[in-house]
Amino acid sequence: MGTRRTPLPGVGTQYDFVTDAGQHISVVVHHDGRRFLGFYRPDDPDTCQASVQLTTGEATALAHLVDPAPIDAVRTDGLDLVTEHIPVTARSPYGGRQLGDTKARTRTGASIVAVLRRHSAHPSPGPDFRLAIGDTLVAVGTREGVDALAAIVGGG
């Protein structure tokens, strides 16, 4: 299952994925924090069958139901900060390169506070930490900064 990330200028970001069973689901994250969960017809991926609006709190509660591991160790409620998990995919120009090569903080103002690997976590990685395809970066920053970092890491 792969996730496709699409910037929506003036709105936010849309995340799409297709389950192993073929169900197309999307999450639209608006700049103001609202989230919409969309479910699409298997025979027509452009037809949304149902959409559910979630507040930030509801989205967090749903995420905890899906994956009970603590994902919000940094509380950003009410602040102009977001915490995002950014995958390092095969399209990323940074697989196999050092974290410092991204120049993340200088270019975006966002900070990479941890790198998650399949069976390990690396908090506070230094600039010499070598990224691998399949890693997940835990980033903290403004919505714009984290979105810019995701585009850089994603090769966009």
List the chain pLDDT tens, one digit each, 156 residues. 567 878 888 888 888 888 888 888 898 888 777 889 999 887 777 788 899 998 777 777 777 777 655 544 455 555 677 888 888 988 899 999 999 999 999 999 999 999 998 888 899 999 999 999 989 999 999 888 998 999 999 876
pLDDT at 73: 47
Greatest CA span in the chain, whole angstroms? 47
Could you tell me if 142 and 156 lie in one domain?
Answer: yes
Could you tell me if 147 and 91 lie in one domain?
Answer: yes
Could you tell me if 50 and 78 lie in one domain?
Answer: no
Could you tell me if 62 and 80 lie in one domain?
Answer: no
Number of domains comprising the chain: 2
* CATH number, domain containing residue 136: 3.30.70.1450
User: What residues make up the domain containing 123?
Assistant: 72-156
What order do you get walking across the sheet with 44-54 strand by strand? 3-8, 12-18, 24-30, 35-41, 44-54
Could you tell me if 90 and 57 lie in one domain?
Answer: no
Q: Do the beta carbons of residue 48 and residue 38 sit within 8 Å?
A: yes
Could you tell me if 12 and 58 lie in one domain?
Answer: yes
Q: Do the beta carbons of residue 132 and residue 96 sit within 8 Å?
A: yes
Could you tell me if 104 and 152 lie in one domain?
Answer: yes
pLDDT at 156: 63
**Of 51, 68, 85, the domain-final residue:** 68
pTM as predicted:
0.55
